[in-house]
Each structure stands twice: as C-alpha cells, then as structure tokens.
Chains A and B, each alone.
Chain A
C-alpha cells in the first residue's frame, strides 16, 4: 500500500476512532499472536483451515488473530474482570485469515470496531446500530445498514428439532438465499403435516428482506409469542433508528444469518456503493463471554477499513494525492533545516533537499510536483522560485 492509499486508510481509521472515542469508548489492542484455543471452543469455533498457525517457544499452538471479538471477550473476562459493566471498548487492528488462493481477497484485513460488553440488551443494541450507521455515514453518504436476527432462526430450529446436520445446511441455504434447494428439501411432499409451518418459515426467511415493512409481512410466517416479541423488538429498533438516520438507509433481512456461531441476537451488515462485499458486520453475542467465564451479553461490530478507504479513494482520489509545498536547498544543512522549520511553523509542508545541488533540487521538484524551490544562501538571504 502506497501514498494516497495509506492516506485514505488513515483518514478512515481516524474518522472512526475519533467517532468511537468521542462517544466514550476506550481503546484496546490485543495480541496479534494469540493462543489457538481462544478461537477453538464450543461457542467460538473459527474454521481451523482459515487460520494462520505457528508454535511458540513452549511448543504451544498459536494463531495470527483471525478475529478481534473473541480476544476482547477473553480480555473482558480475565484482565478486565473486576471492571464494572458495561464496558465500551474500541479497537483498530488487523486480522488475518487464509482465503482461497488467487481469489483476489487480502489475507490481512484492517478492522476498526467496537464492543459493548454488558448493559441492558436492547439499549446496547440500539447504541451499536446508531454507531454503525454513523460509522458508515462518516465514510460515505451512499450506504445501507441491514438488520436481521439470528435468534429467529435459532428458535425455529430448536422447535423443529431436526438433525443437527440438516440444521447447519438449512442455515447455509437460507444465508445464501438458495431457494431451489429449500423448495426441494422443504417441499410439502417431504414434510409431515405438523411441520409444514416450519417448512414455510424456512422458505420465507430468505425472501423476507427490504424496507421496515418486511417485518409486518414476516408475521404471516412466524407465529407464537416468541416471534411476536422478536419482530416487535426489531420493529422498534428500526423505528428508533429512523429517528436518527433516513429511513431509506435502513434495510431488514430476516435471512441474514452468520457462519459465526457466537451470534445470538440481532445481526447487522453495512454496505457501501462500490464494494461487492459487506463493509461492516456485527451482532449480538450473549454466550461468548460466558464461554470465557464471565456471564454477560455483548454486542459489537467491525468496519473493513481498507474496503471503505478504497471506495473513498475511487470517489475522491485527488484529495489524497499530496505533495509538499516547498523544497529547501542550501549548501549549509543547518540553514536549510532552519528554513524548513520556519515554513512548517507557518503551516506549510516543507521538505529538506538532501541533494547535491540547487539544479538537482529543481529537477526533483518538477518530478514530484513540488510548486516552490527555496535556496537558503550562506549570507541568510532566501531566494524563492516557482516551478
């Protein structure tokens, strides 16, 4: 990554960390090298084959951090166990994962995100969503935030009581909106009369996406007290959110599920025009902290900083192409650096020429689009030339 790409990336992380900091979040940095076990538990099973692994001096299996949420949950349950909840934390660090070869995806992803650990669930969910929307808005006007709820699918599956393998497959079919497969497996010929309602719900989840009105339509497929409560909560969340951001930015997708096993409640994604994958993702995870020994719910999200930076760069590339205002050359290096210091103090970007002659400095200035050359003479005079 070079020059304006770095500038755009830094700009995005500054906007985001600034936003998080001013909202009262505290920064944490977790180790880049983590114990394998942190990502390999009952609730937290990160796919083995997607982690970079190595061994430490004591022959323990280590991984390059593939996710920041699990280490932060561990932090909250160990070093921060005596800190009162809720804890509001943010991070700005890289994660690493093994993508399929030649897929054009980076194995190193820089993420900026937050976690709200503890607190009253609905209030924390709302805060996380507002902050997610603000994060996207801070980067690009053309964004959408999309909300779903993992709990709906989990509850359906628990009531349906099917073979766990079918449950995993069904989740993946719903997630990929694989309607042909769902139609085939859950066709009325295959399903007992008593289970038809589940089949209809599984087939409906992937198509229940769009504006907030989708939640009304969902009531045709999801019956019972639990689902009424869930849908009402989601609707309230969306309505509240529409007080803060324009309603057309809010999308609902009840087929939005995650391969990440730790999500238990709301789950959300952020999209920006110009990037073919979600630029933000997050959700509620109420069992992860318990898995590390501290019983508390939590919600959080992460923004893919490079993805957003790339979009920003495409739209607004010129802003990040910066060259110095002045280059200063002198026979006497002390004079040159003194003059640079003066220029910098008055708000310029000044570069000290470490070249051999004034002529070479002029050539360099032309090549690097530096507009002024200053020569600091030994007698204290300064001559300025426009390039």
Chain B
C-alpha cells in the first residue's frame, strides 16, 4: 500500500482561519489553504502533509475511521458527537461556552414541575442535567434555539454562547454556564501508534505555537 501523506482535517468556518494561522505560524506554506476556491483537499508545499476541510462532526468521523490522521474540531462537537480518538491538546482558540439561558428575570429551577429545554445539542444537555440529577424534557431544535422559550415551547435553552448579543436581543440571559468550549487537536488511535514519530512531531510543533 502506498505510504500516503499525513492528513489533517480542519473544521470549516468559525475556527478555520485560526487553524490555518496556526499552521502558518509553524512555518507551513498555507497559500493553498487561503486560496482554496472550492477544493476540499489541499496540499502544503514541501511538506508531507495534506489538509482536508470538512464540517465539524465529519472531522470526527474522518479521524475516527483513520482516513485522516489528525483533526481540529471544537469541544462542542466532541461533547455532542463523542467517538473513539485521542483528544490530545487544547488549541486555545475558538473559545466560547455552553450555557443554560432563560427569559430575562425567570428562575429556571423554580417549582417542582419537569422543565423543558430546547437545544441543538441534546447529548450535551442530557449529560449536564443527568450530572445535576435533574429530570428535564429535551426538545431538539435545528435552527435558532432562542425562539423556543419566546414562543413558549421551552423553559430554557442550552446553546453555545460567545458574546451573548443574540440572547440579549431576544430578551434572554445566561442562567448558568454548562461547560467551556475551545478548539481541540484530535488524533486517530491507530495513526498515533503506526506513525508515532510523524504525528508526534506535528503535535509538538502545533503545541509550541499555541497562543
């Protein structure tokens, strides 16, 4: 079998630019990554590395199956999606948090009734309330979760909060923090062992350049 290049999967979108800057800081030529057009597999000149761009959950899938050796993905996706891989370092960018938000001025835990929580992240929500020992009904929402408490579907939402502006504009506020989120470097378990030297070399370079 041909000895393929080491493949890194990057999450498209919010954390992509930061990840590319990190690769640039290491000293890789990232022109291809910046002028990618519609291409999904990109090479780094003079290096034995290629970069794949994918949606967050897919980064996990590609790394888990071993077709990509390393991946950069948000902790939010890892918490929701789970999977078998090594979560080797915190890249310290793409920082935000999961929070429980409610309509301004309401007390989420008031009374004995079972509360309803709307979220795009049912697993994160379930684990959080399970840990607290609180029984809640979870409603999966695909789009703007902020709407659910406003129209009376839910008592609160669990969502990613960066600045809190969206919440504020819709009359919601953070009730409590659920978990901090940041971008993580993940590694396929077999690549880590079969290509230990090459993988560890890159991991080291990345870790040295984390801001």
Chain A residues with CB under 8 Å of chain B are 103-104, 142, 144, 146, 176-181, 206, 209-210, 251, 253, 271, 273-278, 314-315
Which B residues touch A314, using CB under 8 A? Answer: 1
Question: Within the assembled complex, what's the spacing in Å between the Cα atoms of A23 and B86?
Answer: 36
Instruction: Place the interface of chain B in its size category.
Output: 20 to 34
B134 at the A/B interface (Cβ < 8 Å)?
no
30 intermolecular pairs with C-beta atoms under 8 Å apart: A104-B61, A104-B65, A142-B1, A144-B193, A146-B193, A176-B85, A176-B86, A177-B87, A178-B87, A179-B89, A181-B87, A206-B86, A209-B192, A209-B193, A209-B196, A210-B196, A251-B196, A253-B193, A271-B190, A271-B194, A275-B66, A276-B64, A276-B66, A276-B67, A277-B66, A277-B84, A277-B189, A277-B190, A278-B190, A315-B1
Report if A176-B190 is in contact (Cβ < 8 Å); known contacts: A274-B1, A275-B66, A276-B66: no
Question: Within the assembled complex, what's the spacing in Å between the Cα atoms of A80 and B114?
Answer: 53
- Across the interface, A180 reaches (CB within 8 A) one of B61, B89, B193, namely B89
* Contact call A273/B87, Cβ cutoff below 8 A: no
Question: Within the assembled complex, what's the spacing in Å between the Cα atoms of A273 and B69?
Answer: 12
Question: Within the assembled complex, what's the spacing in Å between the Cα atoms of A278 and B61?
Answer: 16
Which A residues touch B64, using CB under 8 A? Answer: 276
Question: Within the assembled complex, what's the spacing in Å between the Cα atoms of A253 and B190?
Answer: 12
* Contact call B196/A276, Cβ cutoff below 8 A: no
B184 at the A/B interface (Cβ < 8 Å)?
yes
B188 at the A/B interface (Cβ < 8 Å)?
yes
B50 at the A/B interface (Cβ < 8 Å)?
no
Question: Within the assembled complex, what's the spacing in Å between the Cα atoms of A271 and B192?
Answer: 11
Which A residues touch B190, using CB under 8 A? Answer: 271, 275-278
Which B residues touch A276, using CB under 8 A? Answer: 64-67, 188-191
Which B residues touch A146, using CB under 8 A? Answer: 193
Which A residues touch B194, using CB under 8 A? Answer: 144, 271, 273
Given contacts A277-B66, A315-B1, 4 further A-B contacts (CB under 8 A): A144-B194, A253-B193, A275-B190, A276-B65
Question: Within the assembled complex, what's the spacing in Å between the Cα atoms of A337 and B117?
Answer: 72
Which A residues touch B90, using CB under 8 A? Answer: 180
B88 at the A/B interface (Cβ < 8 Å)?
yes
* Contact call B67/A177, Cβ cutoff below 8 A: no
Which A residues touch B66, using CB under 8 A? Answer: 275-277
Q: How many Å from the CB of B79 to the closest CB on chain A?
A: 11
Which A residues touch B187, using CB under 8 A? Answer: 177
Question: Within the assembled complex, what's the spacing in Å between the Cα atoms of A179 and B86?
Answer: 9
Question: Within the assembled complex, what's the spacing in Å between the Cα atoms of A120 and B45?
Answer: 56
Q: How many Å from the CB of B122 to the closest CB on chain A?
A: 13
Q: Chain B, 52-79, contact with A by CB distance < 8 Å: what is the 0/1 string? A: 0000000001001111000000000000
Which B residues touch A210, using CB under 8 A? Answer: 196
Question: Within the assembled complex, what's the spacing in Å between the Cα atoms of A166 and B31?
Answer: 45
Question: Within the assembled complex, what's the spacing in Å between the Cα atoms of A275 and B193?
Answer: 12
* Contact call B1/A273, Cβ cutoff below 8 A: yes
In the complex, the chain B residue whose C-beta lies closest to that of A100 is B82
4 A-B pairs with least C-beta separation: A276-B66, A180-B90, A177-B86, A178-B87
Q: How many Å from the CB of B165 to the closest CB on chain A?
A: 28
In the complex, the chain B residue whose C-beta lies closest to that of A183 is B90
Q: How many Å from the CB of B17 to the closest CB on chain A?
A: 22
Q: How many Å from the CB of B85 to the closest CB on chain A?
A: 7
In the complex, the chain B residue whose C-beta lies closest to that of A146 is B193
Q: How many Å from the CB of A218 to the closest CB on chain B?
A: 17
Question: Within the assembled complex, what's the spacing in Å between the Cα atoms of A278 and B65?
Answer: 11
Q: How many Å from the CB of A48 to the closest CB on chain B?
A: 16
In the complex, the chain A residue whose C-beta lies closest to that of B86 is A177
Q: How many Å from the CB of B125 to the closest CB on chain A?
A: 18
* Contact call A180/B87, Cβ cutoff below 8 A: yes
Which B residues touch A177, using CB under 8 A? Answer: 86-88, 187, 192
Which of B61, B66, B190 counts the most A-chain CB atoms under 10 A from its CB?
B190
Question: Within the assembled complex, what's the spacing in Å between the Cα atoms of A225 and B106?
Answer: 58
In the complex, the chain B residue whose C-beta lies closest to that of A140 is B1
Which B residues touch A180, using CB under 8 A? Answer: 87, 89-90, 184
Which B residues touch A179, using CB under 8 A? Answer: 87-89
Question: Within the assembled complex, what's the spacing in Å between the Cα atoms of A209 and B193?
Answer: 8
Which A residues touch B67, using CB under 8 A? Answer: 276
